[in-house]
Amino acid sequence: MVKQWITFDLDGTLMQNPFGKGVFPEVEEQISAALQRPFRATEALVREHELRMQQGLTVAAYDWDDMVRRLLAELQLQLDLDVERLVLKHSAAPKIYLLEETVIPTLRRLAERGYSLAAVTNGFYKYQYPVMERLGLGEWFDEIVTPEKAGCGKPDAGILRLLQETGRIVAHVGDRLDHDVYMANRAGVPSVLIHRKLPEPLRALTPQERAANAEFAAICAEKLQAENPLAAVDPYPAAYKPTHVLVRLEELLDCVT
């Protein structure tokens, strides 16, 4: 029997990782202390990440250990900063959490319906799985697809290749237009955008009606420019149009049969 996959982004879709509230602040604190002056290490690391993404280096762009090592070399600092170890250290509440109380019940119900579930994330496995495990997410996924395993990261649709070889992807769920929606559309997969701050009038519509709504198109244009300032949005490109829009993850249950 052919597997019926539903794939999920992790950060911003199902969970909050500890980078913003734990990992990056500690890296910045240790570097500033070693330099004996304030240093915006987070900004430097994000700039390097964005440069790598612009160069199409979708695996290297998420190798935070490598980026930290390079930054330390540029600053001529000898510090023992291991991002993987920092993720483990900071993987506790309130720095990590599920984004909704419906996350695990929804995953459970999809599994009970016979779907195979996969996480498709740009975070390396060594950074993501410890967080997933502590939040109770790990057990619900048949596969965890990461850039260093797949040889590419989102928005490259090649990250889905191994799953497509073992079955059919019936939906991909994510919170970003430039990564998740674009990738799914390129792969010919229904693109499900989760947008928890949807205006009240749009909440009354079905997930498919929201995606086709003119008011939501304007929201998408603003969101896409925030995600990727270089993206042209007039006219809004079809490659970034989701097929479904969720406010809460449990609405996904009505989008797949």
* pLDDT by residue, tens only, the chain of 257 residues: 789 999 999 999 999 999 999 999 999 999 999 999 999 999 999 999 999 999 999 999 999 999 999 999 999 999 999 999 999 999 999 999 999 999 999 999 999 999 999 999 999 999 999 999 999 999 999 999 999 999 999 999 999 999 999 999 999 999 999 999 999 999 999 999 999 999 999 999 999 999 999 999 999 999 999 999 988 888 999 999 999 999 999 999 999 97
Q: Which residues of 87-111 are buried (b: 16+ CB within 10 A; e: fewer)?
A: bbebbeeebbeebbebbbebbeebb
d(CA 127, CA 123): 6
The domain spans of the chain are 3-16+96-254, 19-90
d(CA 120, CA 180): 9
Retrieve residue 129's tokens: 């799985």
d(CA 79, CA 86): 13
Residue with tokens 């559309």: 185
Distance of CA 195 to the CA centre of its chain: 13
Burial of 220 (0-12, 13-18, 19+ CB in 10 A): buried
d(CA 12, CA 175): 6
Q: Which CATH architecture is the domain 3-16+96-254 placed in? A: 3-Layer(aba) Sandwich (3.40)
For 170, phi then psi, to 5°, come to: -90, -15
Retrieve residue 153's tokens: 């990261």
d(CA 7, CA 9): 7
